[in-house]
Structure 1
Amino acid sequence: MTTLQWTPRTDAPRALVVRDGHARLGPAQATEMFLPFLEQAGFEVQVAESSEIYADRAVMERTDLIVQCVATSAISDAALRGLLDAVEHGTGLAGWHRGIADAYRNSSDYLQLIGGQFVSRPAAPDEERGTDESDRSRCYTVDLTDEGRTHEIMAGLEDFTLRTEPYWVLTDDLNDVLATTTYAARPDDPWHRPITSPAVWTRRWGDGRVFVATPGHSLVVLRDAHVRAIIQRGMLWASRPAAAA
């Protein structure tokens, strides 16, 4: 398959917001929260309701940033190839929670691109459990790493606490981890010591940049000042630099 050809541009940067998949995630409402920010940052924004947009070569050639919120959807071979080619040639990819780190489980190539996969939601400690067994929320701290404290995405932020669903994430060491969360082992858990998972990370892939934030389970979490700032900065960081557009 012929790869994309990228030519310099002098017009406004272009952001492609891709949303579909798991209804409980509220992809439309979640992404709508960030559209004004992208427009104010100077992006020309296009919204797509299906990941098949990734197979549209003309669209992908002129995209500087992809903001993805698709949850557990499958992806076609053509769409996957379009996404991989775009990122490798400099298009940025950004997202939060299941919209990026629990997407396209049918594709190992996608998981390699993202650098992390949700595998579990550790249960809350007994003293934090409510009466609703379906509520997996718990209080946990998002701890900035040493690298995170000097990174532009986390500038001026300190460790902060959220009450939301936590996620155990499998990752590799190509990620630059900017923040983590640590989950204790309860007596009835099958693991035997605290587990630390990345909460915010960046990744270089070819000429492109990937940004992932695991918080974002609900609109309430996305409205948290820390989470919102991290996602907004992460989108800007991931976008193709103007000089390369």
Structure 2
Amino acid sequence: MKRLNLAIASIALLAAPAAAQVIVNVKYRPPETVQRVGIPVDPTEKRIRLLIISGQNSYEHDWTGVNNMLRTMMQDSGRFDVRVTEDFDHGDLATLKNYDVVLLNYSSRWNYADPTEHRWSKTAEQALFDYVRQGGGLVAYHSSFTFGANWPEYQRLIGAVMEPGSSRRSPPGAFPVHIVDRTHPITAGMREYVWTYNDDMYTNMRMDPDARIRVLATAHDSAASYDAKLAGHKYPAAAYTPEKLKAMKGMDADHPQVWTADYGKGRVFSMTLGHDEVSLHFAGLQTLILRGSEWAATGKVTLPVLDEAKEYMQQ
């Protein structure tokens, strides 16, 4: 009897017209290449629209790979729909207003020592300032702090820049990041310390006096880390003798690495960390960039702290 019922059901299916096919809606993602790339988001989803502005960076930064990783990570969170432009030279306000938040992964030189910066057009620069001033969100990311020392309005926008001759990159490539403010929505629920690897510790930056900065995380620049046995060949020992180290401003001190600021009606999230795809594999930085971007766009944070970055529970 069971076999007979199956046969009857099969005949019924075969006899059904083609138009009677059942359309099943399932969660589906288009296939991905071996190297993961950000894929299109269903336009019916209400996501934060984020634009990464990139295209010029110093040679030691894999900015295309980082852009790809940021885009994939953000879209995987289910909160963002991300686009990337590597040509903002002639950007305008109308283009930026299509987005809830802009992320700058941009430096202006191929080599940090190059005297000439590749800046955007005056129209594009003004568009960025007007966009944030009128309420757009901004994320300033890593190498975006390595230019603008002679551009006061840009310093005011992102809160601080590296100043040639005074600022420096501390030698350690791996160091703890101290979350000094865990009451802000971005950092609430995070561990007091997270680690970053293959990264840059920017120290002794020029903080803009007019920017209302709220520091969320710092790192400690220690004279001991300049010892040649730790610093390696990249940092000549003769440049960091005990006498010279003692004379350096900001030595053996904590330095801001992550902060928030405002610019007009806009919210700014600044994160100096995140040198490359290696550092972005760690939960502390992933948590900061995801939640910081959401906050810059909306003023709120709904994304969770990733497990390895969560605050330890007291026993």
TM-score by shorter chain over 0.5: yes
Amino acid at match of 1:61: K
Aligned sequence identity (%): 28
Change in Cα spacing, 1:191 to 1:106, as seen in structure 2 (3 Å) is closer
Considering Cα pairs closer than 8 Å and 6+ residues apart, tell me whether 1 or 2 has the greater RCO: 1
Structure 1 or 2, whichever has the larger Rg, is: 2
* Structure 1 residue 96 displacement after superposition: 2.0
One of 209, 213, 222 as aligned partner of 1:175: 213
Alignment of 1:162-241 (within 5 A): 162-163=196-197, 164-168=199-203, 169-172=205-208, 174-185=212-223, 187=242, 188-189=244-245, 190-191=247-248, 193-240=251-298
> Aligned-pair distance for 1:13?
3.8
**What is the RMSD of the two structures over their aligned residues, measured on CA atoms?**
2.3
Q: Which of residues 42, 46, 49 is equivalent to 1:14?
A: 49
Question: Matches of residues 71-220 of structure 1 in structure 2 within 5 Å?
Answer: 71-72=107-108, 73-98=118-143, 100-119=144-163, 120-124=167-171, 137-145=172-180, 148-158=181-191, 159-163=193-197, 164-168=199-203, 169-172=205-208, 174-185=212-223, 187=242, 188-189=244-245, 190-191=247-248, 193-220=251-278
* Code of the aligned partner of 1:16: L
The one-letter code matched in structure 1 to 2:128 is L
Q: Distance in 2 between matches of 1:185 and 1:224?
A: 26
Cα displacement (A) at 1:89:
0.9
Deviation at 1:228, TM superposition (A): 1.2
> Whose strand proportion is higher, 1 or 2?
1
Structure 1 window deviating more from structure 2 (82-91 vs 69-78): it is: 69-78
| Cα offset, 1:118, TM superposition | 2.0
TM superposition shift of 1:195: 2.7
Q: 1:11-57 CA deviation, whole Å, 9 max, x = no partner?
A: 7542211111124312211011121343353444332112225x323
Equivalent position SS for 2:89 = helix
Compared CA separation, residues 88 and 224, structure 1 to 2 (3 A)? same
Secondary structure of the equivalent of 1:218? coil
Matches of 1:78 and 1:237, distance apart in 2: 27
* Aligned counterpart, 2:307: none
Q: Which runs of 5+ in 2 are unaligned?
A: 1-45, 109-117, 225-241, 301-315
Instruction: Tell me how far apart the structure 1 counterparts of residues 293 and 129 of structure 2 sit (CA, whole Å).
Output: 18
Work out the CA distance in 2 between the residues paired with 1:165 and 1:150. 26
Distance 1:71 1:109 in 2: 16
Compute the displacement of 1:239 (Å).
0.7
CA contact (8 A) 2:63 2:105 kept: yes
Structure 1 stretch 216-225 or stretch 158-167: which is displaced more?
158-167
Runs of 5+ unmatched residues, structure 1: 1-10, 125-136
User: Contact (CA 8 Å) 1:208, 1:240: kept in 2 or not?
Assistant: no
Matches within 5 A, 1:17-32: 17-22=52-57, 23-32=59-68
Contact 2:137–2:266 (Cα < 8 Å) also in 1: yes
Distance 1:240 1:157 in 2: 20
Give the SS at the match of 2:215. strand
Aligned mate of 1:51, from 78, 88, 96: 88
Residue 151 (structure 1) shift: 1.4
Q: In 2 relative to 1, CA 86–227 (structure 1 residues): closer, same or farther, beyond 3 Å? A: same
Deviations 1:188-212 (A, max 9, x none): 3122652321011011111111111
